[in-house]
Amino acid sequence: MILFAALAILAGVLVSLSRQINGRLALSTSAMESSFWNHIVGLGFVTIAALLFGGLFAGEPLAAPWWAWLGGPVGVIFIAAGSWLIPRIGAAQTALLIIAGQMISGVVLDIIMGAPGSPLARAVGVALILAGMYVAQSAKQRS
């Protein structure tokens, strides 16, 4: 259990590490070029891992709905945005604001798709996140 908890924390550390490395590459090149390298190097890595472990084409991937195939281009913009932001507003601020956007859009998506969840918890959670964004924003304007 402690091992898995450590692995879950490590996964978060690696998200941040990846964004910082990409951000450093974008400082020398451009945000979009950094996103390109992130994807092609990641493609090589996943290909090698899939060849080692096997099972890449297991299941019925062709039965997936058409929109499930659109994650790649969305990810290109996402990685480019992170690479552009991190040298400008810092790693912590970038991470927190992306988390804020992810959480609030997740609530909107859950409501649209009719996913179960406490409306009170959703309201409190969204309110706290919006308050946190307001505090961060007002802090920057004063300095």
Partner 1 sequence: MSSPSPSTHIYHFAAAFGAGGLLTLMILFNGTLAVYGSLFFASWVPHLTGTVAALMILLFLRPKRAMPTRPPLWTYLGGVSGGVTVMLTSATMNTALALSGTIALGLAGQVLFSLFADMRGLFGLPQRMPSRRDYLSLALILVGSLILIFFGGSA
User: Least Å distance between CB 57 and partner 1?
Assistant: 7
Say whether residue 2 binds partner 1 (CB under 8 A).
no
Amino acid, res. 59: G
Say whether residue 112 binds partner 1 (CB under 8 A).
no
User: Least Å distance between CB 113 and partner 1?
Assistant: 9
CA 22-136-94 angle, 5° bins: 10
Interacting residues with partner 1 between 4 and 23 (CB under 8 A): 4-5, 7-23
Say whether residue 138 binds partner 1 (CB under 8 A).
yes
Is the four-CA dihedral 115, 71, 7, 101 of positive or negative sign? negative
Please give the DSSP secondary-structure letter assigned to residue 29.
S
Nearest Cα neighbor of 107 from 85, 89, 124, 87 is 124
Taking CB under 8 A as the rule, which mask of x and - marks residues 72-91 in contact with partner 1? xxxxxxxxxxx-xxxxxxxx
